[in-house]
C-alpha cells in the first residue's frame, strides 16, 4: 500500500517549486534588464535606412582595404523593398571605402565595433539585442574582429570632407553621433518617414549598387554624371578619413587621402 504524502511534506515540495520558479523569473528579468541596458536604442528597436559614406582607415600609415574578401558580404541585387536587413552595415561588390548603412541612427563607433574596434562599450562581440520581436530577443553579433590591431601609443585623428574642403573632427563625435549628424547631411531614403510609401517612391533613393540589370532607369544609364549627381544617386552623406598613429598627420597626408576617394558609379537598388 502506497504511503500517502503528508500535508507538511506536500507543502514543502510546493514551496520549493515556487521558490525555484521565482528564482528563475528573477534571474531571467535581471538578464533581460542587463541586455536591455547594454544595448543602444537604435539596436533595440531598429528602423530601416539606406545610405552610404566613404570611410578610409590608416593604421601607422597603412590603409585598410575594405574591398578585401574578409569584409565582403553578399546581398540580393534585386532587393527593392523596405524590409529590415539582418545586419545594420556591410561592404559589398568588392568596393573599397563605401560603407552601406541599413539601420537608422547608426554611429561611427557602432560601425567600427561591428568590425572589431570597440570604443563605445556595450556587450562583447555583439552590438546588442533587438527587442522589437518580444518575447524573442535577437542578438546582433559583430561581423568579426578583422580590423588591424591598434598599437597602444597610437591616437585617432579623424577628418571629414572631400578633396576641395576637409577639416579635423573630434573622434568622440565620430564614435558617438548619429552619422547623419556627424556629416551634417540627412539621408534622402524615405522609408523611416513613410513606411507605407509605394515602391516607385523608394526606387530613386535605393541606388549605390553596381549592377547591369535591364531595368536600369534611364537616368542611371547616363555615363556623364557629375560628382554631385552621383552623390545624389548613391545617397552618399559624407567621407571620413581616420588616421591611427602616434603623431598628427601632415596636411599633405590628409589631402592625399581625400584625393583618393573611391569613385561612385550609377546603379540600381539592392542590398
pLDDT of residue 148: 97
Instruction: Show me where the domains of the chain are located.
Output: 48-120+144-258
| CA–CA distance, 196 with 187 (Å, rounded to integer) | 18
Read off the pLDDT of each residue in 219-224 and give the average, rounded to a whole number: 54
DSSP 23: H
pLDDT of residue 210: 45
pLDDT of residue 98: 95
Provide the 3-class DSSP secondary structure of residue 142.
Answer: coil
Residue-wise DSSP of 44-100: HS--EEEEEEEEEEEETTEEP-TTSGGGB----TT--S-PPPSSSEEB-TT-SSEEE
Read off the pLDDT of each residue in 188-201 and give the average, rounded to a whole number: 52
pLDDT at 2 over 90: no
Provide the 3-class DSSP secondary structure of residue 128.
Answer: strand
What percentage of the chain reaches a pLDDT higher than 90? 61
How many H helices and E strands in the chain? 8, 9
pLDDT of residue 74: 79
pLDDT of residue 80: 53
pLDDT at 15 over 80: no
Look-up of cell digits 523569473: 25
pLDDT at 219 over 70: no
**Tens digits of residue pLDDT in 154-165:** 999 999 999 999
Q: Which residue did the predictor score with more confidence, 43 or 34?
A: 43
Nearest alpha-carbon partner for 205 in 195, 191, 218: 191
pLDDT bucket at 207, cuts 50 / 70 / 90:
very low
**Tens digits of residue pLDDT in 233-258:** 889 999 999 999 999 999 999 999 99
What percentage of the chain reaches a pLDDT higher than 70? 76
What does the mean pLDDT of the chain come to?
84
Q: Which of 30-34, 64-68, 123-127, 170-174 has the lowest mean pLDDT?
A: 30-34
| Cα 30 from chain centroid (whole Å) | 28
pLDDT at 222 over 90: no
pLDDT bucket at 213, cuts 50 / 70 / 90:
very low
pLDDT of residue 131: 96
pLDDT of residue 202: 43
Burial 55-76 (b: 16+ CB within 10 A, else e): bbbbbeeeebebbeeebeeebe
pLDDT at 100 over 90: yes
pLDDT at 92 over 80: yes
pLDDT of residue 26: 73
Q: Which of 88-97, 133-142, 143-152, 260-269 has the lowest mean pLDDT?
A: 260-269
Look-up of cell digits 523611416: 192
- Are 156 and 128 in contact by the 8 Å Cβ rule? The answer is no
pLDDT bucket at 218, cuts 50 / 70 / 90:
very low
Amino acid at each position: 500500500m502506497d504511503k500517502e504524502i503528508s500535508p507538511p511534506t506536500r507543502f514543502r515540495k510546493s514551496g520549493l517549486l515556487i521558490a525555484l520558479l521565482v528564482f528563475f523569473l528573477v534571474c531571467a528579468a535581471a538578464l533581460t534588464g542587463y541586455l536591455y541596458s547594454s544595448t543602444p536604442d537604435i539596436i533595440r528597436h531598429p528602423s530601416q535606412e539606406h545610405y552610404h559614406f566613404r570611410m578610409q582607415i590608416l593604421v601607422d600609415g597603412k590603409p585598410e582595404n575594405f574591398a578585401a574578401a574578409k569584409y565582403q558580404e553578399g546581398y540580393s541585387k534585386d532587393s527593392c523593398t523596405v524590409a529590415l536587413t539582418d545586419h545594420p552595415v556591410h561592404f559589398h561588390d568588392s568596393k573599397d571605402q563605401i560603407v552601406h548603412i541599413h539601420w537608422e541612427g547608426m554611429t561611427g563607433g557602432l560601425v567600427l565595433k561591428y568590425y572589431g574596434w570597440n570604443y563605445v562599450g556595450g556587450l562583447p562581440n555583439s552590438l546588442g539585442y533587438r527587442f522589437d520581436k518580444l518575447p524573442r530577443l535577437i542578438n546582433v553579433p559583430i561581423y568579426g574582429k578583422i580590423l588591424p590591431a591598434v598599437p597602444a601609443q597610437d591616437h585617432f585623428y579623424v577628418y571629414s570632407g572631400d578633396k576641395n574642403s576637409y577639416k579635423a573632427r573630434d573622434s568622440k563625435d565620430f564614435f558617438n553621433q548619429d552619422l547623419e549628424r556627424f556629416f551634417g547631411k540627412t539621408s534622402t531614403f524615405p522609408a523611416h518617414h513613410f513606411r507605407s510609401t509605394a515602391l516607385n517612391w523608394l526606387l530613386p533613393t535605393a541606388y549605390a549598387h553596381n549592377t547591369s540589370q535591364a531595368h536600369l532607369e534611364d537616368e542611371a544609364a547616363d555615363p556623364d554624371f557629375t560628382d554631385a549627381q552621383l552623390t545624389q544617386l548613391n545617397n552618399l552623406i559624407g567621407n571620413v578619413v581616420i588616421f591611427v598613429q602616434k603623431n598628427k598627420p601632415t596636411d599633405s597626408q590628409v589631402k592625399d587621402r581625400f584625393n583618393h576617394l573611391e569613385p561612385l558609379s550609377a546603379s540600381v537598388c539592392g542590398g
